Chain A
Amino acid sequence: MSAAGPPALDNEGTRPWGAAHSAVRGTYKQRGRKMSSFFAMSGYGFYVWSAYGVAALALAVELFGLRSRRRAALAEARLAGPDAPPVPGAAE
């Protein structure tokens, strides 16, 4: 990767991915881009996708846990009913 000067303009994915080149328009295919260069992340794919993947997984685990907890709480509330003794500290 060149740190200085204009970005390289070959078709092998070395050009900054998705860089806003006003002169270059069209679909990725027309520009000779490959989806694989997106996933490669200029060689940092392992780090970028490990970060994004596990972050997404963490949110998925939280949301899934929330859903099961809600189901359990609703089931408990149905069992409790209005005549059941109140939970300690709850409203009368």
Chain B
Amino acid sequence: MTASWFKFASPATFYPLAGRLIPWFAVAAAVLAIVGLYIGLVAAPTDAQQGDAYRIIFIHVPAAWMSMFLYVVMAGWSAAALGFNTRLSAMMAQAIAPTGAVMTFIALWTGAFWGRPTWGTYWAWDARMTSELILLFLYLGVIALRNAIDDPRRADRACGVLALTGVVNVPIIYFSVYWWNTLHQGSSVSLTKAPAMAAIMLTGMLIMSVAAWCYAIAVSLARVRIIMLERERGAGWVATLREVRTA
């Protein structure tokens, strides 16, 4: 482990780096979302069985993927924070939680409005939906625990332990459709077999997924910069920032 490895682990060096990265990811997210929405809402044909109700897939699946992936990333930063005691790692974990909660909410909400016309119900207590709801509560729990503890370093440790404990829920969500007899269908797209959907639908869904990635990266970086300002105000490097010096 060389010194350069930890160079950007310092908020003072990461803050300007994040600031330079945000516009690229934000623009990429916007452009990809426009292309993905055009494919999903206009170019892709109506489904023979579901009619146009299936078009919810273009936001439901990317949001659901991101909700699980962001939790793993958050838990990874939490583990790094607990292991290396680096401030930036804990701040990254803190920055990801709200975006993860938003993605989980979107996955649940769009799933309800897809389930009603196709299954006849907005909600069922099946394993996939219940474990995804637990994921939302885990995100909200991490955020609430953070707000309940005044000392940021103590909050880092408590939230880190909670985030790491909850990570066991992610494989439960992913494999729930195989382990239990769920109302929710199995995955149409997986790493092990050919996708069970038309090429243009798959293209639209993957473009929307990359857009969700770029959105989550841009928003998390923007939030981690704010967290740095909140937690390190009074530190020399914050006082010298142009946006702090000029009102």
Interface residues of A (CB under 8 A from B): 1, 3-4, 7, 16-20, 38, 41-45, 47-48, 50-52, 54-55, 58-59, 62-63, 66, 69-70, 73-74, 76-78, 80-82, 84-92
Given A17-B46, A51-B59, A70-B226, A87-B53 contact (CB < 8 Å)? no
Please indicate the chain B residues that have their CB under 8 angstroms from the CB of A47 in the complex: 53, 56, 113-114, 116-117
A20 to B39, CA, bound (A): 11
Tell me what chain A mostly uses at the interface: helix, strand, loop, or mixed: helix
Please indicate the chain A residues that have their CB under 8 angstroms from the CB of B194 in the complex: none
CB < 8 Å neighbour of B219 from A17, A44, A66, A85: A66
| A87 contacts B117, C-beta separation under 8 Å | no
Smallest CB-CB separation from A14: which chain B residue? Answer: B46
Please indicate the chain A residues that have their CB under 8 angstroms from the CB of B109 in the complex: 51, 54-55, 58
Tell me what chain B mostly uses at the interface: helix, strand, loop, or mixed: helix
Residues 1-43 of B contacting A (Cβ, < 8 Å) = 10-12, 41-43
Please indicate the chain B residues that have their CB under 8 angstroms from the CB of A80 in the complex: 233-234, 238-239
| A52 contacts B219, C-beta separation under 8 Å | no
> Distance (Å) between the CB of A20 and the closest chain B CB?
7
Please indicate the chain B residues that have their CB under 8 angstroms from the CB of A87 in the complex: 152, 230-234
Please indicate the chain A residues that have their CB under 8 angstroms from the CB of B236 in the complex: 82
A92 to B12, CA, bound (A): 12
Please indicate the chain A residues that have their CB under 8 angstroms from the CB of B200 in the complex: 20
Known contacts A62-B219, A66-B226, A89-B156; can you find 14 more A-B pairs with CB under 8 A?
A: A42-B46, A44-B117, A45-B52, A47-B114, A51-B59, A55-B59, A59-B215, A62-B99, A76-B229, A80-B239, A86-B232, A87-B231, A88-B151, A91-B12
